[in-house]
Amino acid sequence: MKYAQIFALGTILALSGCATIHDFWDKYVQPEIEKPEQPEQPDQPDQPQNDDAVPFANLRWNRGGENFSKAVRDPACVITGVKIRGGGTPVLSYGGEGFQKWPVKDENVTHIWAIFFDSDGDGVFERGGKFDWGRSTAADRPLAHLTHYKGWDGYPRKGTPWAAVITDIKGKKRSNVATGVWP
């Protein structure tokens, strides 16, 4: 029998006065009819939103003399509009908020810039690390240090994916990870 036929038969018996059917109807059928429709629940619980463009764990800290791979995401610190302009000496420009509240070192320094390159396109940014200090004013950062500073060995090829992040001056807190393509 189809559900519609069973429902019709039950309705006829219920309306005819059969006490057993009335009890069944009141206990099982009526609550199902009056039950508000519930939205479907997802198979997985909601996951916290992550604003990293690539996983922070995919950044390999092997240049710049520091390893801040254990830095914890500070949700109050966000870098935005991160761009690299080519030319003689490439320059990184950015904006953002939250890093201005981190402790200040000398000359208004509040954070450390790190950049990473994915030379083989596998999603792991295998060459990177610290390259410069950053200031609370979000001043542009020349990328000249990539040619000689603490293990840095030059600029990547045009079209190489990059990822950038800032940390506080002790490397304990970090921003979101931004990405782009080398000019």
Going from the C-alpha of 132 to that of each of 41, 60, 110, 114, the distances in angstroms are: 47, 17, 11, 7
pLDDT the model gives residue 104? 83
Per residue in 3-49, pLDDT tens?
566 666 566 655 666 556 556 656 666 665 555 554 454 444 343 44
Per-residue pLDDT, averaged over 71-78, amounts to: 94
Question: Could you tell me which residues come within 8 angstroms of residue 150 by beta carbon, excluding any fewer than 6 positions away?
Answer: 63, 64, 65, 129, 130
Confidence of residue 50 (pLDDT cuts 50, 70, 90): confident
HSE-CB at 154 with a 13 A cutoff on CA atoms is 4
Between 97 and 24, the higher pLDDT residue: 97
pLDDT the model gives residue 43? 46
| pTM, full prediction | 0.71
Per residue in 118-127, pLDDT tens?
999 999 999 9
Between 59 and 136, the higher pLDDT residue: 59
Length of the chain: 183
For 70, phi and psi rounded to 5 degrees?
Answer: -95, 5
- Here the tokens at position 138 are 């979000």
Could you tell me if 40 and 46 are in contact, meaning their C-beta atoms sit under 8 angstroms apart?
Answer: no
For the chain, give every domain's residue range: 3-34, 56-181
Per-residue pLDDT, averaged over 65-78, amounts to: 94
Which amino acid, 119?
A: S
Question: Could you tell me which residues come within 8 angstroms of residue 175 by beta carbon, excluding any fewer than 6 positions away?
Answer: 73, 74, 77, 78, 79, 96, 98, 99, 111, 165, 166, 167
Per-residue pLDDT, averaged over 175-179, amounts to: 96
Per residue in 107-121, pLDDT tens?
778 899 999 999 999
According to CATH, what is the number of the domain 56-181?
2.60.40
Confidence of residue 84 (pLDDT cuts 50, 70, 90): very high
% of the chain beyond a pLDDT of 70? 73
> How many other C-beta atoms can be found within 10 angstroms of the C-beta atom of residue 183?
14
Looking only at the bridges linking them, the beta strands covering 161-168 and 109-117 are antiparallel
Residue 23, H or E segment: helix 19-24
